[in-house]
Amino acid sequence: MAANIHLPNSSPTLSSHVLPHRTLPFLHPPMTLSKFQPLRRLSHHLRRRGLAVSAAAVRQDTALWTPTPLVKISPAAESLFNITIDVAESPELAASYTKAGQYLQLRLQEPESKPSFLAIASPPSIAASKGVFEFLIKSVPGSTAELLCGLQKGDVVELTPAMGKGFDIDQISPPDNYQTVLIFATGSGISPIRSLIEAGFSADKRSDVRLYYGARNLNRMAYQERFKEWKSSGVDIVPVLSQPDDSWTGESGYVQAAFARERRIHSPQSTGAVLCGQKQMAEEVTSLLVGDGVSSEKILKNF
């Protein structure tokens, strides 16, 4: 998300091309000091611009990185892993996570490692009570995520503080005014949705809370062991498989298509939504919701 900016060896300037002041009296009359004002202004502008770029690069390079050990790595589904990182010894890092949907940067302690942006899967209360951050990581060949999923307990990684606005639940509060909340997630996009559900947003005080959760098949669907708990909190789960086997009797295809078939928005003015996952899914679901009269301000994203 952020490009690396290299510090220049020196700030750009034209001052080396301007004649020293002591030579000016020997110039022919047409060459007065006023002739050099544009060059001086340009030199000053470029010097300031160079300093601004340098300052930005310094801010970029001096992001606060905190070494933290891995507590646990375990399979969550096919190509997906649960990663637990200890932040108990870094109270400021733990305290930076205040709202479901926030994310951070993670990097390995290797010269070639590029930082990855990761949504935090556990709710903020877990950081406060247990001193850990939990993540759901998709292992992509050749990525930092693949290297991360290959580490072991005790290995050290580096984290930045949590960032981002998270899911602004105040937009769909109080529950009495927003009885319908539609949640959409695909693949590892379920990670911050888990945080939202387990952090609580008064789902049990709303009449219609649905989670449309898309994956290729059941082997690719993480958190199935949490479905019972989520349902008991008031969330109706609608699994949607794009490539199911012959025994599957539930919703198939893509999440947006499954929602389009159901719709069931009785009162758009009292409906909110939360989206996380593939860009195309988010765009198409947003179009469907707005077309049905749901306010775009009530469609929450974490970025």
Average pLDDT over residues 101-119: 91
Assigned token pair, 146: 């693949």
Q: What is the DSSP letter of 113?
A: P
Which amino acid makes up residue 189?
G
Quickly tell me which residue has 């928005």 as its tokens.
265
Confidence (pTM)? 0.79
Report pLDDT for 255: 96
Extended beta strands in the chain, E state: 66-77, 80-86, 103-108, 116-119, 132-138, 156-159, 180-186, 208-215, 236-241, 251-252, 271-276, 299-300
- pLDDT at 85 exceeding the cut of 90: yes
Quick one: pLDDT at residue 92? 95
What is the torsional sign of CA 20, 25, 31, 35?
A: positive
Cβ contacts of residue 29 below 8 Å, gap of 6+?
A: none
Query: What are the structure tokens assigned to 231, written together?
Result: 């349902």
Average pLDDT over residues 72-93: 97
Distance between CA atoms of residues 163 and 106, nearest Å: 12
List b or e across 102-115, with b for residues whose CB sees 16 or more CB atoms inside 10 angstroms.
bbbbbbbeeeeeeb
**What would the pLDDT profile of 128-155 be if each residue is shown by its tens digit?**
999 999 999 999 998 999 999 999 999 9
> What is the pLDDT at residue 53?
41
If pLDDT is split at 50, 70 and 90, which confidence band does 62 have?
low
The DSSP bridge partners found for residue 82 are 74, 136
Task: Give the separation between CA 129 and CA 82, rounded to whole angstroms.
Answer: 19
Q: pLDDT digit string (tens) for 12-32?
A: 333 333 334 443 333 444 444
**Confidence check: pLDDT of 239 > 60:** yes
Neighbouring CB atoms inside 10 A of 31's CB total 12
Q: How far apart are the C-alpha atoms of 235 and 78, rounded to whole Å?
A: 24
pLDDT tens by residue, 256-302 = 999 999 877 989 999 999 999 999 999 999 999 999 999 999 999 98
User: Higher pLDDT residue, 109 or 89?
Assistant: 89
Secondary structure (3-state) at 202: coil
